[in-house]
A and B are shown apart, each in its own frame.
Chain A
Amino acid sequence: MDFSFKISGTSLDFSKFKLGPIDLELEKGMAMAYLGRNGAGKTTTLNILAGLMSQDRGEIEVLGYNTKKDHEKWKSQIGFIDSNPKFYYVKPMKHLKFLSSFYPTWSWDLCHRVAKVLRLDLDDKIHQMSKGQKMKLSIAGELAKQPKLLLLDEPMDGLDPIVRDDFAELLFEYMENEEHSLIYSTHIIPEIERMVDKVTLLDNGKIVANEYKEDMIENWRRIDVNITNRMDDKPFIQKQEDKTDFFTITTNNFEECKRHLANLNIGIRDTHYMTIQEIVLIRLR
């Protein structure tokens, strides 16, 4: 199995917060949602993967390179879009030219196409640009690198609905290449539900879930059952809601829950699939 990145036993201590130790890997060609509450450690993880911060303990491999031994080699194959992009010049073209000199896989065709799709005017001065315009410039630069791994940290911040949709389209295009992978951190879960292959939840510096999306969707279910009193708690029962003449049970293991209900002779009225958003909310509460 080829990995895009592999984080092993990695931790980073701040005075008020500790990330990890975490173990996390992403296969090449896959897109991962990296979700969690404010302060869970998402941005720290992405900063470590981008080489902007260094872990205290543990090993990290990015695109086959050990980030501590193979200094800088992986960085030219990484793109990073966050909600607070930095620029080196006043003029967008100068900034992009400077950026392009560090990336052997840089594509000007792609850069101009992204600018056109997002309706970004490359003649404006950067300090006069709105937040949304700056985000677009950052997106154009990061995608033009044609990175093998794309790190995204609230990349849609400040973008209007049309630009969000155009940007999503560009990301689907990016993922058409099986050499490409992305990790996407956001609080707006519906924005990434369709796009990602894997869902990873981070809570208080620790990974609490890391699953393929379709397994998650198949395993979690809301079941309306014919009971009028609460059932005994089980590890696969996440939530019980009293609906007066029946109960709605939320399970993270549909098959086991069905067996359990059959053993207890409890009738099922109806079953409902859940969205990733609904699952994540229950998981993080």
Chain B
Amino acid sequence: MHLNITESSSEPLHRQIYSQIRSLILSGKIGEGEALQSIRKLAKELRVSVITVKKSYETLEAEGLIYARVGKGYFVSGISENSKESMALTDFKSAVSPLIDKAISEGINKSKILETLNKILESK
């Protein structure tokens, strides 16, 4: 599990860890039943406090992406492709929405935004 966290992000560290693991799960890079690193081990590896990793794991658990087994640690849940897609879509919306707000506030109209999005999509 390769995570890359930084203090120069506007997101706190526990959010960065959360969203990177979430993204690894949604993209299938870590699959159902796979064990996550223990909280203390990951904390040491990333040089963050135990509570930071714990908070990230608890948020992932509350969303049903991982589950805890007493004394064994955390494991990736079985998630249907449908719910993976809807979660990824939710992430996409919340990432894009402030960018659209910003563009509108800077005077770009909606059809121009749509046109730009289409151009980006065509290049993919």
Residues of chain A at the chain B interface (Cβ within 8 Å): 29-31, 168-169, 172-173, 175-178, 193-198, 212-214, 217-218, 272-273
Which residues from 84 to 110 on chain B have a C-beta closer than 8 Å to any C-beta of chain A? none
Q: In this assembly, does B12 line the interface, its C-beta being within 8 Å of a C-beta of chain A? A: yes
Q: Which residue of B lies closest to A178 (CB)?
A: B40
Q: Is the CB of A273 within 8 A of B11?
A: yes
Residues of A within 8 A of B11 (CB): 273
- Closest chain B CB from A59 CB (angstroms): 27
State whether the Cβ of B113 lies closer than 8 Å to any Cβ in chain A: no
Q: Are A213 and B51 in contact (CB under 8 A)?
A: yes
Count CB-based A-B contacts (< 8 Å): 54
Any A CB within 8 A of the CB of B83: no
CB neighbours (8 Å) of A212 from chain B are 51
In the complex, besides A169-B47, A172-B47, 18 extra interface pairs with C-beta distance below 8 angstroms are A168-B47, A175-B43, A176-B40, A176-B44, A178-B40, A194-B49, A195-B47, A195-B48, A195-B49, A197-B50, A197-B52, A198-B51, A213-B52, A214-B12, A214-B14, A217-B12, A218-B12, A273-B11
> What residues of B have a CB within 8 angstroms of the CB of A178 in the complex?
40
Residues of chain B contacted by A218 (CB below 8 angstroms): 12
- What is the minimal beta-carbon distance from B52 to any residue of chain A, in angstroms? 6
Q: How far is the CB of A143 from chain B (nearest CB, A)?
A: 15
Interface centre among A169, A173, A196, A197, by most B CB within 10 Å? A197
Q: Are A30 and B44 in contact (CB under 8 A)?
A: no
A168: nearest chain-B partner, CB-CB: B47
B76 surroundings in chain A (CB, below 8 A): none
Count contacts on B: residues with CB < 8 A to the other chain. Answer: 17
Q: How far is the CB of B99 from chain A (nearest CB, A)?
A: 13
Contacts of A195 in B (CB 8 A): 47-49
List B contacts of A29 (CB < 8 A): 50
**Cβ-defined contact, A30 with B51, below 8 A:** yes
Nearest residue in B to A217 (C-beta to C-beta)? B12
Q: Please tell me if the beta carbons of A30 and B50 are within 8 angstroms of each other in the complex.
A: yes
- Quick one: CB contact mask for B8-47 with A, threshold 8 Å, 1 for yes? 0011111000000000000000000000000011011001
**Is A197 touching B12 in the complex (CB atoms < 8 A)?**
no
Residues in A neighbouring B55, C-beta threshold 8 A: 214
Residues of A within 8 A of B43 (CB): 172, 175-176
Select from chain A the residue with minimum beta-carbon distance to B9.
Answer: A273
A175/B51 in contact, CB under 8 A:
no
Interfacial chain B residues near A31, Cβ < 8 Å: 49-50
B12 adjacent to A173 (CB under 8 Å): no
Report Cα–Cα, A199/B47, bound state, in Å: 17
- Enumerate 6 A-B pairs (CB-CB under 8 Å) in ascending A order: A168-B47, A194-B13, A197-B51, A197-B52, A198-B51, A213-B52
Bound Cα distance from A214 to B47, whole angstroms: 15
The residue of chain A having its C-beta at the shortest distance from the C-beta of B56 within the complex is A214
Beta-carbon contact of A176 and B41 below 8 Å: yes
The answer on a CB contact under 8 Å between A175 and B40 is yes
CB within 8 Å for A272 and B10 given contacts A172-B44, A175-B40, A214-B55: yes
Which residues from A are CB-within-8-Å of B44?
Answer: 172-173, 175-176
Contact check, A214 vs B40: say whether CB atoms are below 8 A apart: no
Cβ distance A66 to chain B, nearest Cβ, rounded Å: 27
Complex CA distance for A197 and B14, rounded to whole angstroms:
12
CA distance A172 to B50 in the complex (A): 10
